[in-house]
Amino acid sequence: MGDDAYKRGSVKEFNLNWKDREERLYNHWAAAAPKNQIQFAFKNHWEVFQEILGLLTGGHFLEVGCGRGTLSSFFADAGFSTTMLDTSMEVLKVAQNIFHHNGHRADYVQGDANNLPFKDERFDVIGSIGLLEHFEDVGPLLAEQWRILKPGGWLLNYIVPERPDNCQRWFNWVNALLKLFAAAWSKKSGAVVAKEPIYRNDFDSSVYVKALEPMSIKQIFVSGMYPVPMVSHSPEFPFTLLPSTLERILVSIFGAVVRIRGTFTGRNGWLCDEGWGQAFLVAVQK
């Protein structure tokens, strides 16, 4: 795939971004209680996905743009036969190491989300976390996912748009302070290195819903997700972790916030208004 063909979602950009990062070795899947904010976030995503899937268990799951494959870890652990696809071999090796470490198994496929190398109606569930926002034209990606989804199956696309006005904005000053400390520290240790940011679109869910209009959809569920901030000194995504005690304290605080939200809203406390959440979910049943 030439980068010109897909001006955004560039593989070269992603490879450079992942290469030599300390964070690429972090394992964001946790069988037990989450120990840091990223594990906490993924655990909450998984709980929402499980509620949507209901009794659907043990089918074929595909993660598109798998990165380190954290979402796939949850599906593999729940007994789904799991396939992970990414354009980057570099990334697939990272995912493979993490899966090996966790005792999970999966098939690893190098391929392009615009042109998925699978036959029609192959998978029961197809998911992505932080993939679609990296493209200017999301229609072809959704059409490809739809093509290889079995009737009755679900697409779960978790999207992290470029939004300056979500709940994170109230905490930017905290992160700015942390970055100042980290920058001073890194002069001594060389620990925090900013890389080129990767393109992200600022589309809201209506763009994805519109792109799905030509498909005959059985059910659609759209909601904001991730109603708490990410507190981090990292200059970019994926976020570098804070000292472990601080991460654990933040997880307990945010855990309480999510539980209280759930009590008041009467639904999963990880769901929220799209404008407030750090991300949103577009879940569609075929």
Ligand X SMILES: C[S@@+](CC[C@H](N)C(=O)[O-])C[C@H]1O[C@@H](n2cnc3c(N)ncnc32)[C@H](O)[C@@H]1O
Would you tell me which residues interact with ligand X (CB under 6 A)? 9, 11, 14, 65, 67-68, 70, 86-88, 91, 112-114, 129-131
Count of residues in the chain? 286
Least distance (Å) between residue 179 CB and ligand X: 21
**Count of CB atoms situated within 10 Å of the CB of 146:** 21
Q: Which is nearer to ligand X, 70 or 175 (CB)?
A: 70
Q: Of 93 and 210, which CB lies nearer to ligand X in the complex structure?
A: 93
Least distance from C-beta 158 to ligand X, angstroms? 8
161 contacts 271 by C-beta, under 8 angstroms: no
Buried b (16+ CB within 10 A) or exposed e, 167-193: bbeeeeeebeebbeebeeebeeeeebe
Nearer Cβ to ligand X (84/258): 84
Q: How far is the CB of 38 from ligand X (least distance, A)?
A: 9
The minimum distance between CB 49 and ligand X, in angstroms, equals 13
The C-alpha atoms of residue 181 and residue 169 are separated, in whole angstroms, by 20
Residue whose entry in the numeric block shows the structure tokens 């009755």: 152
Q: Which residue's CB comes closest to ligand X?
A: 67
Nearer to ligand X, 24 or 286 (CB): 24
129 vs 241 by CB, closer to ligand X: 129
Q: How many C-beta atoms surround the C-beta of residue 265 within 10 A?
A: 12
Longest dimension (CA), the chain: 58
Q: Closest approach of Cβ 101 to ligand X, in Å?
A: 14
The span from the CA of 143 to the CA of 247, in Å, is 39
